[in-house]
Structure 1
Amino acid sequence: MSDTQWKILGEHTVDENRHIQLKTVDIELPDGVRFTQYVARMPRCAMTLVLNDSREVLLMRRHRFIIDKWVWEVPGGYVDGAEDIALAAAREVEEETGWRPCSMEHLVTYQPAIGSLDQPQEIYLARGAELTSTAPDINEAEEVRWFTLQEAMRMIDQGEIIGAATVVGVYRALSLT
C-alpha cells in the first residue's frame, strides 16, 4: 500500500455562511497532474432512527425543494457549535416530530459525499419514544408516522426514502438483533 498523498497547493474561499463554506482547492496528484477541486464544508449533522417495541421506525414526510420531491426521512439536523451530539440528535427528534426519545445510542458515523463534501453525519438509535404535547414544526414535516422496517425497505426500493441518513439508518437497524 502506498502512502503517497495528494498535495494541497492552495485554497480560496468562494462563499461562506453559518451553514456552508465553499472553497476551491488547488491539488497536485502524485504523478504531477494539477487541477482545481470544489470543496464544501458543512457543520456536523445528527440524525436519529427511532425504533419502538414493535420494531417500527419513526419517519417524517417532507418536501425537498432541491430535488422537488416529497420523501420520508428520519429526524435530524445541524449540531449547534459545541452542543453534545446525542443531545442535538434528541432535540431534533422532539422539534421535528413531537416525540421525545427514551434512549440514545450511537449507531454510525459517515461522510455522505467524501469526494467533495466534508460533513460528518452521526446517526443515533433511540429505542422508544414518548409523545409530547409539543406539535411538530410545520416547516419541518408534513406528516409523522411509524413504519415497520420491512415497509421502510419497500419505501427505499420505491424511491420514497432516498436520503442517505435514512437509508443507512434503516439498513443498519435491520442488522440489529
Structure 2
Amino acid sequence: MTQWAVRGRRQVYGSPWVELWLDDVDIPGVGRVDHHVVRMPKECANAVVTDGDGRFLMLYRHRFITGRWGWELPSGWVEPGEDPAAAAAREVEEETGWRPGEVAPLTRLDAMSGISTMHFHCFHATGATRIGEPVDRAEASRVEWLAEDEVVRLLTTGEVAEGASLAALSYFLGPHRLTARGGADR
C-alpha cells in the first residue's frame, strides 16, 4: 500500500467558512510536492425528507458560483458541538418551513476527497409538519414536494447537480432501499 506522507503545511487563506492550505506531501514514486487543500472548518448535513405518499421535499435554487439553477436537498453547516442529525433537522426547518419528525442516519460522504476536507452527514427524515414560511428565504426560489418519479427524472436529466444532494438521493433510492427491503447481499 502506498500512502502519501504530509511533511508540513502552510495556511494561505482562512475564514470561518473555508481555509486554503498548501501541504508539503511526499508521494511514493513521485517525490515531494505542494498540494492545495481546501479545509472546511465545519462539517455539513443534509436530509432526504419523504412523506407517506412517496414524495420528496426539495428546494429549487440558483447557485451563483456555477451559474446554474437546480433542485437540492435542505443542507447546511453543523455548528461546533451540534449533533449532525439536529443540524439536518434545523436546516430542513429553516430552509423549507417544514419541521421533520424522525431523523435517521442515511450515509456519509467526503465531497471532494482529493482536494478538500468537506464532509457530509446525510439523513432520512420523515413525519414533517408544516410550521410556516421558511426562515431563510434566500435559500430557495421554490420549496416543493415532488413525486418519486419526478425526482428520478431530475436525477437522470442533471437537474439535481449539487453533489451531496445527488449522492444522498441516489443512495436513498438505491442501496438504502435495497438493504431496507432485504434485497441486497451483505
Q: TM-score range by the shorter chain?
A: over 0.9
Match in the other structure for 2:106: 107
Match in the other structure for 1:37: 35
Match in the other structure for 2:149: 150
Residue deviations 1:120-159 (CA, integer Å, cap 9, x gap): 1011100221000243422111100011222112112222
User: Where do 4+ consecutive residues of structure 1 move more than 3 Å?
Assistant: none
Match in the other structure for 2:166: 167
Match in the other structure for 2:5: 7
SS in 1 for 2:138: coil
| 1:31 maps to amino acid | G
Q: Does 1:25 align with 2:23?
A: yes
Larger CA deviation: 12-21 vs 148-157: 148-157
Match in the other structure for 2:54: 55
Q: Tell me, which stretches of 5 or more residues in structure 2 are unaligned?
A: 182-186
Q: Does 1:94 align with 2:83?
A: no
Give 1 or 2: higher helix fraction.
2
| 2:149 maps to amino acid | Q
Cα distance in 2 between the residues matched to 1:96 and 1:134:
9
| 1:34 maps to amino acid | R
Residue deviations 1:31-57 (CA, integer Å, cap 9, x gap): 252211100111100101101111211
Cα distance in 2 between the residues matched to 1:14 and 1:72:
33
| 1:174 maps to amino acid | L
Cα distance in 1 between the residues matched to 2:157 and 2:133:
32
Larger CA deviation: 144-153 vs 128-137: 128-137
Cα distance in 2 between the residues matched to 1:134 and 1:101:
14
SS in 2 for 1:139: helix
- Percent sequence identity over matched residues? 34
Cα distance in 1 between the residues matched to 2:37 and 2:86:
29
